[in-house]
Amino acid sequence: MGKRYPNGILTQREILQMLRSKEYGVDIDTGKVYGQSGNELCQRIGYEGAEDSEKSYLTVELYSAELGKRVNIFVHKLVWMAATNHTIPKKFQVHHFDEEPVHNWFKNLLCCHTADHAKFHDMDATEETPF
């Protein structure tokens, strides 16, 4: 796993459990993420190893002392998971309606299949939203 994550990376299920147990908090109206102490976590743009298309998205690093595991997660994914109390299904992505990667409030997010998500970004201006 390398020295940065010697015990592995947190899974979505583990992250969801941490949200349920109030280890971390998410304000779904603002997209802000808080630690157990109530302090807002620092949100960084991108992360080491991010693909070019992912470099402008905000991330936070979460850590579970109990599991000894960490993860850098996109804030929009964390907000969607906190608001719905679900993990993001395989082959699904979280889309920003306004296409601004730093606007991470829940009402601006839609979880959709990868193929449908591509339609949002590849559509002709006259074509209606496919769903």
What does the domain layout of the chain look like in residue ranges?
Answer: 12-122
3-state secondary structure of 61: strand
Per-residue burial over 52-76, b = 16 or more CB atoms within 10 Å of its CB, e = otherwise: eeeeebbbbebebeeeebbbbbbbb
CATH of span 12-122: 3.90.75.20
Query: Could you read off the pLDDT of 54-78 as tens digits, one per residue?
Result: 668 899 999 999 999 999 999 999 9
Look at 80 and 7; give whichever has higher pLDDT: 80
Query: Could you read off the pLDDT of 71-113 as tens digits, one per residue?
Result: 999 999 999 999 999 999 999 999 999 988 899 999 999 999 9
- Mean pLDDT in the chain? 85
Strand partners, 32: 27
Q: What is the pTM of this model?
A: 0.82
